[in-house]
Amino acid sequence: MAPHGKRYQDATKRFDRAHLHSPSEAVDVTKNLASARFDETIEAAFRLGVDPRKADQIVRGTVGLPSGTGRDTRVAVFASGEAAQEARDAGADVVGADDLVARINEGHLDFDVAIATPDLMPLVGRLGRVLGPRGLMPNPKTGTVTTDVGRAVTEFKGGRVEYRTDRYGNIHVPIGKVSFGADKLMDNFNAVVEELNRAKPASAKGRYVRKIVISSTHGPGIKVDPGKVGAVV
């Protein structure tokens, strides 16, 4: 693993790395430490008290960020007929059926979210080895397999993002850009916390949210005190 650059090293000296901050403090510190020449994404990472090896403890879904993501989300839609036109009218970046499958098989993966109508899922299933590892396979649990493709496109374009526990029980969710005001970042952060609480598996035992860290794209992680985060338990 390559060592962090000088800016990162300098940033780690400008705050107490062991201190547990309130969410608003962590947002402020993250914004102040961001030093890249572009508008960095700010992300919240949650370590959950779940066992993702057990199917009933996988935490997965989508959350609408009230302040948006600050970036243009590229959406691909597998649909035909009226549904395809509905997707285009809603602003989908690429729409198709067999032709879209062929395009993806040729290596064109220039999109962030894939949506499909239920009738085309057998076709989309052929792309499992391509889309699955990249987290792009449409799934009913995330609202990306739907008959209402127009609404889905609008929501993902407007700031809805997917989340899912990784193999270690971590969830990473973008909450905006460094250029966002702290109030907008906090609105997004609180929306994520509310959604994760809603999605808590009934089989999860003990403390649900173990650790929270907020960071920018090239910045260090700022630790958040879970005890100071709304209804997190």
pLDDT greater than 70 at residue 155: yes
**Domains defined for the chain, CATH in brackets:** 16-68+160-228 (3.30.190.20), 75-158 (3.40.50.790)
Interatomic CA distance for residues 217 and 193, integer angstroms: 20
Element (H, E) at 213: strand 209-216
Distance CA 19, CA 167 (A): 27
**Pair of tokens at residue 34:** 């961001």
pLDDT at 152 exceeding the cut of 60: yes
Interval 75-97 mean pLDDT: 97
Query: Residue 120's closest CA among 135, 103, 137?
Result: 137
Q: Say which residue the tokens 């390559």 belong to.
A: 2
Question: 115 or 232: which carries more pLDDT confidence?
Answer: 115
Q: Which two tokens stand for residue 186?
A: 């906090």
CA nearest to 200, candidates 55, 64, 50, 53: 50
Average pLDDT over residues 187-205: 94
pLDDT at 4: 63
The predicted pLDDT at position 230 comes to 65
Residue 180 confidence (pLDDT) above 70: yes
Whole-angstrom Cα Rg for the chain: 19
Residue 71 has a pLDDT of 86
Q: Which two tokens stand for residue 143?
A: 């609202």
| pLDDT of res. 232 | 45
144 phi, psi to nearest 5 deg: -100, 0
Closest to 95 measured CA to CA, from 166, 149, 39, 158: 149
Which of the four pLDDT bands, split at 50, 70 and 90, describes residue 17? confident
Structure tokens at 230: 């709304």
